[in-house]
Structure 1
Amino acid sequence: MSLKKLWTALRGATNEGIEAVADSQAIRILDQEMREAKKELQSCDESLTRIMAKRKLAEGKVSALKADIETYTNHAIAASETDEALAIECADRVSELESTLDVEQGILDSFLSSEKSLKANISKAKTNVRRMEQQIEQVKATESVQQAQVAVSTRHMGANSKVKTALSSLDRIKEKQKQRSAELDVAEELAAEESGSSLDSKLKAAGIKSGASKSGSDKLAQLLASKKG
């Protein structure tokens, strides 16, 4: 392999290693960001609670001012029939209350606007956080499954390789056993030929009894012939 190809291979392996580290860091960074986002949302919920409480107090003030305005308006109308000075005093009071009401109504409207905007933003942020959490969990689950699949595949390939090696060894053992059995058969044949048992076996197979003893009549004839001679 040339130095250029070797450098390219090493650089590719290095890049893969860097990417793997970066990917693992990315998940940890996202987890940390999710924790921080949840803390921020918790702070937002607390702020919303305070704004809603102030809005409720402002609503109480506005309602009370409206009630007072209605009351002193009725007093001014009633006093105008009997005591003009008192009627004017009640009218002044209504004017003051209306001015105060304008201020408090402005404050209430501000609280209502802030509350509405904050609720919408918090709801949107919570939806985004939930969506991001789901994506992170999906990525983690997919990564775990793929790692398990790689491990199983690696073990399977290793197991297949070991099985193939074992089968090859078994075939070699069988061949050796066949060879040894054939060698033993040949050795027995050679030993039989040396002892003459091989020829006896052949005669026996042909129906000929090698070295069989003669019958009594044959032996008698042989003895008589030898005596006459």
Structure 2
Amino acid sequence: MSAWGKIFTAIRGGVSEATEAAVDNQSMRILDQEIRDAEQALRQARSDLAGIMASNKSMMRRIEESRAKEAKDSDSARSAIAAGRTDLAQGLAQRIALVRSELQRDQQELDGLIPRQQQMLRTIQDTESRITQMKREVDNVKANEALLRAQSAIAHNQSGVNSRMGTAMDSLGRIKKRQEETANRIAAGAELAAIEDGTDLDRQLREAGIGRQSQSADDILAQLMSSAPSAEQNTLAPPPKRLT
């Protein structure tokens, strides 16, 4: 294949893909239109069937009238023969022959229309069933399409949330690290200040028990208890003399 042929094939393939994508994007609209077209054809078929049924009923009524007329003329012809009026019987016989000819023609036409009516009725019923089934499938497809769009949106939003959460967690980690570094710098500054003014050395001496000046409340209480007289000594001691 020449270079131009390959280019033309590639262009034709791209056009085909674009066409298929456009059809897929409009698939729901196309399905709805196809259903509307089918329903329009079904309404036309019902109208045609109604016309056929009306024609059949008219023909059946005409056949019944022709049979009744034939029966009446036959009885009249028999009466005319019995009365010796063969001329009247002859005229009635001719009319009966005409009625029978019309009756045969109508019956043949009716025999051809009845199967057509039944076939059209079956076709309409089958079409109605197929349209109903197609509507259900289209509704299911639309529901699934909406569900997929919602799930896609949720997944997209969740991805964005996860990305933002990751960024927020990174920022939080940096804030914590910065706060920890600041606290360490403050503590280090306090230690340096204590070393410079000698308070750190005093603290170390107190912790070592050297040059301890202050006493706790427990130490003072123990001293007071050791120097105070006991209750027994207070009982044996004589009362103080009263001055006059």
TM-score, length-scaled by structure 1: 0.78
Amino acid paired to 1:136:
V
Output the amino acid matched with 2:63.
Answer: V
CA distance in 2, matches of 1:156, 1:16: 31
Per the alignment, residue 224 of structure 1 pairs with: none
Residue matched to 1:22: 23
Counterpart residue number, 1:67: 68
Counterparts in 2 of 1:98 and 1:16: CA distance versus 1, 3 Å: closer
Q: Quick one: distance in 2 between partners of 1:150 and 1:91?
A: 87
Instruction: State the distance in 2 between where 1:40 and 1:203 align.
Output: 108
Structure 1 residue 134, shift from structure 2 partner: 2.2
CA 1:19–1:154 in 2, change beyond 3 Å: closer, same or farther?
farther
Closer/same/farther in 2, CA of residues 25 and 152 from structure 1, 3 Å limit: same
**Separation (CA, whole Å) in 2 of partners of 1:201 and 1:18:** 87
2:118 to 94, 116, 119: 116
Alignment counterpart, residue 90 of structure 1, candidates 92, 103, 108? 92
CA drift of 1:44 comes to 1.6
Shift of 1:133: 2.2
Distance in 2 separating the partners of 1:143 and 1:196 = 78
- Tell me the TM-score normalised to structure 2 length: 0.74
Give structure 2 stretches of 5+ with no counterpart.
1-12, 215-244
Q: Partner residue of 1:220?
A: none
Match of 1:101 in 2: 103
Deviation at 1:119, TM superposition (A): 1.2
* Separation in 1, partners of 2:17, 2:106: 64
Q: How far did residue 25 of structure 1 move? A: 2.4
Write out the 4+ residue segments of structure 1 that deviate beyond 4 Å after TM superposition: 12-19
Give, as a single letter, the amino acid of the residue that structure 2 aligns with 1:170. Answer: L
Tell me, yes or no, if the aligned pair for 1:200 and 1:210 is still in contact at 8 Å: no
Q: 1:15 to 1:155 in 2, by over 3 A?
A: farther
